[in-house]
Structure 1
Amino acid sequence: MPPEHDAEIHKNGCYHNAPPFAELRNPMGRAAQIRQFLFKRTPNAVPAGNIPIVPLNRQDLESRRENGEIHLYRLGHSTVLLKLGGDYWLTDPVFSNRASPSRLAGPKRFHNTPITIADLPDITGVIISHNHYDHLDKSAIKQLNGKVGHFITTRGTGKYLKRWGVAETRITELGWWQSHNHGDTTLTATPSQHFSGRGLFDNNKSLWASFVLQHNGRKIFFGSDSGYFDGFKQIGQHFGGFDITLMETGAYSALWPYVHMTPDQTYQAHKDLRGKTLMPIHNSTFKLAFHPWKEPLEQITELAEQENTPLLTPQIGERITLGQTASPPPRWWQSV
């Protein structure tokens, strides 16, 4: 088992990225970044038309609960509904209209969710990778509380869930390389290179992570947010590769090069992880950077085609069944 790096990653009450990149400095300060984000104009940063949505409903989902297959439904940004056997799992559930502490300001959703929280089936577990607003949605947690069996998150993040009404007995906090077992599914928190914070005074007070889901011999990597780092190779070596990797592909910028990946870095990380099939996430839902909104999916598609790498770019709400051979996915974003 790889080391947890406790002594290195938790010092003086704060979490840090693992050595040798323990102290990452962006080339521009936070205030300058905020000014750039508020006032810099980027052509085509938002979709010109409506993003296509495949509507979902509980009846259709429940009809597939016991069929033994692994299904994935991308609900938007990094929110993915996974059906593993008879259980449903949900990653980084964000359903609010804005990824922001305010309902009136901040990044606004480009598209509706394909299903409401009320219409979701009972969820065995929710996986929360870190506390940023585009990954931890207070309103969604409160609405999900009554239909979720367990919340699996990172060290220091459980306090938000408790504050919003989730019972402590239903929260499991994990450090890197720690696991949680539920029936025939094992979840392991694995390293990422990122940061945390929801306000002015809680920077890096909680941990960030990627997650590995193992179910009946199949392995899924949920990358959440990360800059490119050697940890991907270590994770790939330790788990022996993955059937599918759900990889951040979007919200990158030269202003924060160490905490988000460009598409070419995402593609290299997928190879480092020894992934078979790549599914890009963390794009198309919010404007969180300065690149054209189509660029992440366009570039990752071109990279995958160059090396004939299996790639899944489903429409929002479209069902993906793990292991099924599919024709090359249509570039749905080109017609928006």
Structure 2
Amino acid sequence: MKVIKWICLIIVILFIGACTVNNSLATVGTTKVPTQSHFENGKFYNAEPMEANSFSKVAGIFVRFLMEKKVDAAPEQALPMNTLTREQLIDLNNDTIHVIKLGHSSILLKVYGEFWLLDPVFAERASPFQFMGPKRFHPTPITIEQLPPIDKVLISHNHYDHLDKHSIKLLANKTKQFLVPLGVASDLEKWGIQPNKINEFDWWQEQLTPFGFIAFTPTKHFSGRAISDGNKSLWGSWVISAKEHSLYFSGDSGYFTGFKEIGERYGPFDMTFIETGAYDKDWPDVHMTPEQSVQAHIDLKGKIMTPVHNGTFDLAFHAWYEPLEHVQSISNEQWIQLHTPIVGEIWQLGQPHQTQRWWQAYMPKYTSTIITAE
């Protein structure tokens, strides 16, 4: 057990080092030249500065990782899931948008007949290694091989729980287009994606679609998959406007004033997929607490909020169910319409939605309840 902890600690060092200790100024891996002020000397920067991570702070996180006992870090029994089939997805009508949570931050959309994937992670572990690192609490409701042809894959940033090499390689021959932040194309090309399938985005850049447009918008986060590539690719969120509907997908972010600007430019949104999980007092700048997630939804002028980035991987010190339980309480206080589907559940925009507290049946001394909202 100690050996495993020390090996995992090395992974944590590499991951945090990508953001905190890398000072090299290599050229960003993109053919596009960033035009905004958030790129300088080969690195990308947040619009709002973050507190620098001192050696003592990073060391303190390492000590916590090794010594702090986690409580309910993973569920003790299998979580509920709705298994999907290709035929079932193809049979969904083509005159609206269907939303399916695949786990963590991975979302499958059927957008007026086209299938789109947001941050698809189908691998067993969110890790550079197949034999160690955060392991899934549940399988995916459908395999990549079983998916129908995919029109678009949208990536928010290059962290392992959002950009999965295993998934991208399997999606290579069944996906028409990959939409990625600046600097991410070089990785996809190494993994076998044809360059003509990849479109890189800077913040606020848009692309027209047959139904409307897609826009890449800022977040407050960072990038890196190793010590040598910290912040050499961009990070961000996605706005999807399709006919009378609009969606927002946050990727990962700390709370910042940019949510209000996005809401002013592109809101209101029929649904927001907001990061709600993997937060901690030791990294408040790059992930949001549930209170901040709800405030981001309000800033964005969202109508229905779907909390993502939870319930699949153990990436922080809180209990696996805490983000959902906490955001449920906050949303009730703020009169926010919350959508908390089980993995694989299909929901059609414009239909009545259910706030299903499914996780409570898997917590000690709780039972599930359902609130239906129009």
TM over 0.5: yes
Give SS of 2:229's match.
coil
Q: In the TM superposition, what whole-angstrom CA distance separates every residue of 1:163-186 from its partner, at most 9, and x where no partner exists?
A: 000000000000000012221141
Aligned-partner Cα distance in 2 for 1:257–1:26 = 11
Aligned-partner Cα distance in 1 for 2:300–2:124 = 33
Query: Please, which of 211, 216, 236 is the counterpart of residue 263 of structure 2?
Result: 236
Please report how far the alpha carbon of residue 40 of structure 1 lies from its aligned counterpart in structure 2 after TM superposition. 2.4
Please report how far the alpha carbon of residue 37 of structure 1 lies from its aligned counterpart in structure 2 after TM superposition. 2.8
Q: In the TM superposition, what whole-angstrom CA distance separates every residue of 1:181-234 from its partner, at most 9, and x where no partner exists?
A: 221141100000000000011000000000000100211000010000000000
Counterpart in the other structure of 1:103 = 130
Gap change, CA 1:5 and 1:233, over 3 Å in 2: farther
The TM-score with structure 2 as length reference comes to 0.85
Counterpart in the other structure of 2:357 = 331
Gap change, CA 1:7 and 1:329, over 3 Å in 2: closer
Counterpart in the other structure of 1:218 = 245
1:87 maps onto 2:108 in alignment: no
1:209-288 maps to which residues of 2 (within 5 A)? 209-288=236-315
Aligned-partner Cα distance in 2 for 1:42–1:160 = 34
Give SS of 1:156's match.
coil
Contact kept? 1:26, 1:256, Cα under 8 Å: no
Q: In the TM superposition, what whole-angstrom CA distance separates every residue of 1:3-50 from its partner, at most 9, and x where no partner exists?
A: x994421011000001xx234324664454344334422111111211
Counterpart in the other structure of 1:52 = 80
Contact kept? 1:193, 1:226, Cα under 8 Å: yes
Counterpart in the other structure of 1:11 = 40
Gap change, CA 1:146 and 1:185, over 3 Å in 2: farther
Aligned-partner Cα distance in 2 for 1:270–1:202 = 31
Aligned-partner Cα distance in 1 for 2:347–2:38 = 36
Counterpart in the other structure of 1:302 = 329
Contact kept? 2:94, 2:111, Cα under 8 Å: no
Counterpart in the other structure of 2:149 = 122
Q: In the TM superposition, what whole-angstrom CA distance separates every residue of 1:248-274 from its partner, at most 9, and x where no partner exists?
A: 000000110000000000000000000
Contact kept? 2:205, 2:215, Cα under 8 Å: yes
| Equivalent AA in structure 2 for residue 335 of structure 1 | A
Query: Please, which of 293, 309, 319 is the counterpart of residue 292 of structure 1?
Result: 319
Counterpart in the other structure of 2:22 = none
Counterpart in the other structure of 2:71 = 43
Contact kept? 2:97, 2:112, Cα under 8 Å: yes
| Equivalent AA in structure 2 for residue 95 of structure 1 | F
Aligned-partner Cα distance in 1 for 2:212–2:81 = 30
Instruction: Report the identity percentage.
Output: 46
Structure 1 stretch 23-32 or stretch 273-282: which is displaced more?
A: 23-32
Counterpart in the other structure of 2:61 = 33
Q: In the TM superposition, what whole-angstrom CA distance separates every residue of 1:70-120 from its partner, at most 9, and x where no partner exists?
A: 110000001000111010100001011110001111111110000000000
Aligned residue pairs total 329
| Equivalent AA in structure 2 for residue 329 of structure 1 | T
Q: Aligned-residue CA RMSD in angstroms?
A: 1.5
Contact kept? 1:245, 1:278, Cα under 8 Å: yes
1:163-182 maps to which residues of 2 (within 5 A)? 163-182=190-209
Structure 1 stretch 275-284 or stretch 180-189: which is displaced more?
A: 180-189
Aligned-partner Cα distance in 2 for 1:105–1:185 = 42
Gap change, CA 1:320 and 1:185, over 3 Å in 2: same
Aligned-partner Cα distance in 2 for 1:219–1:107 = 33
Aligned-partner Cα distance in 2 for 1:161–1:32 = 35
Structure 1 stretch 101-110 or stretch 220-229: which is displaced more?
A: 101-110
Contact kept? 1:126, 1:150, Cα under 8 Å: yes
Contact kept? 1:237, 1:273, Cα under 8 Å: yes
Aligned-partner Cα distance in 2 for 1:13–1:292 = 38
Aligned-partner Cα distance in 2 for 1:285–1:249 = 12
| Equivalent AA in structure 2 for residue 214 of structure 1 | S
Contact kept? 1:16, 1:23, Cα under 8 Å: no
Aligned-partner Cα distance in 1 for 2:60–2:129 = 21
Please report how far the alpha carbon of residue 239 of structure 1 lies from its aligned counterpart in structure 2 after TM superposition. 1.0
Please report how far the alpha carbon of residue 320 of structure 1 lies from its aligned counterpart in structure 2 after TM superposition. 1.4
Give SS of 2:338's match.
coil
Contact kept? 2:252, 2:286, Cα under 8 Å: yes
The TM-score with structure 1 as length reference comes to 0.95
Gap change, CA 1:276 and 1:26, over 3 Å in 2: farther
| Equivalent AA in structure 1 for residue 74 of structure 2 | V
